[in-house]
Amino acid sequence: MKQLLYILCAAAGLWLSACSSSPKEKQKSGETGGSTEASAARSEAARMAVIGYLPLNDYEFDTQYPSLEWEYLTHINVCFGRVNPDGSLTTDELTARLPEVVRTAHEKGVKVLCSVASNVRGDFSKALSTEATRNRLVGELVAFARENGLDGIDIDYEEHDNENADSPASKALLAFVKALHEAKDEEMLMSSAVYGRWLYYGTEWAGYFDFINVMSYDGNGVFSAETPVQHASYEDFVADLENWSANLKAPKSKIIGGLPFYGYSWDKEMSVDDIRGVRYHGILEHYGAEAADTDAMMNGQTLYNGRPTIRRKCEYVKANGYGGVMIWQLFQDGTAGQKDSRLIKAIGEMNK
């Protein structure tokens, strides 16, 4: 009997010893596969969100879309759904191409949000001016997202007029955002395009959104400037993100720094739009591949963000714990023939 008791006790001791082996010992002996999964999770968590705006009615859709480099993106904001004064939503710009884009994005592991904005300035604010029209817009947005298998909604409201967070217009906007947040499906994302520093949104704003897309471009009076100005400097980028963190109390993980894939030119030989704007691939076409590695060409007559500044901004985002970067907009990047000079690749290099 004593011999049997001894054997049982010895066996129990061996069993307890085996159960108490440390996780490190198990990893070394290959008894657990959790370390690989944990490492992958940490790597994914360290990556920035990369959100690209994708205008589905862009005149270059057919030439630029086929060579879109999905592997560098985490989200796209298809644009635009148009808000009408009565609270209805017009989606003519989206419907023809939306099914293909949503299907492809999801196959590539990229989430799709629908961005909504005014067609005519004033339409959005009128739609938010009464509870009835706000509720109609909320209902139509949620229904459109559900019907088209979208992952969320992006609000691009740009009808502010220097009002503060306590103005009637700002209160109506916040009431709309709150109603949309309550009505959407739980898994639906919400994001908003916001200004960097000149407008005070209040500290409640960020609580309703997953991403705060800071439009850190078109600054320094560029629209009316008669002489060249840099519309999207590194210093302004840093100040814009710090404002949202320090003054507007948004969690850094929600703050997304906006990157312009375009510039402005005072070069009389450059083909520009009516406000001197020029797409990044137009800059490459005019000046050659060397333009990719600087922010200025023609003795500072053409100003933009080249690959070094894009990398530097991404580095700042990662080093300071911000959520990621946003691109306006993807079709302005290098063409299929300019892939080696693309700005999206510079982002990808910083997001490993």
In-domain check, residue 21: no
Query: pLDDT tens digit string along 256-314?
Result: 999 999 999 999 999 999 999 999 999 999 999 999 999 999 999 999 999 999 999 99
Provide the 10 A C-beta neighbour count for residue 19. Answer: 7
- Residue 26 confidence (pLDDT): 32
Pair 72, 344: CB distance under 8 Å: yes
| Total of domains in the chain | 1
* Per-residue burial over 78-96, b = 16 or more CB atoms within 10 Å of its CB, e = otherwise: bbbbbbbbebebbbebbee
Domain boundaries, position 208: 33-261+306-349
In-domain check, residue 198: yes
The residue among 20, 112, 48, 163 whose CA lies nearest residue 330 is 112
**The dihedral sign for the CA sequence 176, 182, 185, 189:** positive
> Strand pairing partners for 52?
76, 327
In-domain check, residue 300: no
- Residue 45 confidence (pLDDT): 55
In-domain check, residue 86: yes
**Residue for token digits 């030439």?**
63
Pair 280, 263: CB distance under 8 Å: yes
Per-residue pLDDT of the chain (352 residues; tens, 9 = 90+): 434 433 434 444 433 344 343 333 333 333 334 444 444 444 455 789 999 999 999 999 999 999 999 999 999 999 999 999 999 999 999 999 999 999 999 999 999 999 999 999 999 999 999 999 999 999 999 999 999 999 999 999 999 876 677 788 899 999 999 999 999 999 999 999 999 987 888 899 999 999 999 999 999 999 999 999 999 999 999 999 999 999 999 999 999 999 999 999 999 999 999 999 999 999 999 999 999 999 999 999 999 999 999 999 999 999 999 999 999 999 999 999 999 999 999 999 999 8
> Strand pairing partners for 90?
82
In-domain check, residue 297: no
Q: What are phi and psi of 156, to 5 degrees?
A: -115, 75
Q: Which CATH number belongs to the domain containing residue 68 in this structure?
A: 3.20.20.80
- Residue 44 confidence (pLDDT): 55
User: What's the start-to-end Cα distance of the chain, in Å?
Assistant: 64
In-domain check, residue 278: no
- What is the SS3 string spanning the chain? CHHHHHHHHHHHHHHHHHHCCCHHHHHHHCCCCHHHHHHHHHHHHHCCEEEEEEECCCCCHHHHHHHCCHHHCCEEEEEEEEECCCCCEECCCCCCCHHHHHHHHHHCCCEEEEEEEECCCCHHHHHCCCHHHHHHHHHHHHHHHHHCCCCEEEECCCCCCCCCCCCHHHHHHHHHHHHHHHHCCCCCEEEEEECCCCCCCCCCHHHHCCEEEECCCCCCCCCCCCCCCCCCCHHHHHHHHHHHHHCCCCCHHHEEEEEECEEEECCCCCCCCCCCEEEHHHHHHHHCHHHHHCCEECCCCEECCCHHHHHHHHHHHHHCCCCEEEEECHHHCCCHHHHHHCHHHHHHHCCC
In-domain check, residue 179: yes
Q: Which residues contact 253 (CB under 8 A, 6 or more apart)?
A: 321, 322, 323
In-domain check, residue 50: yes
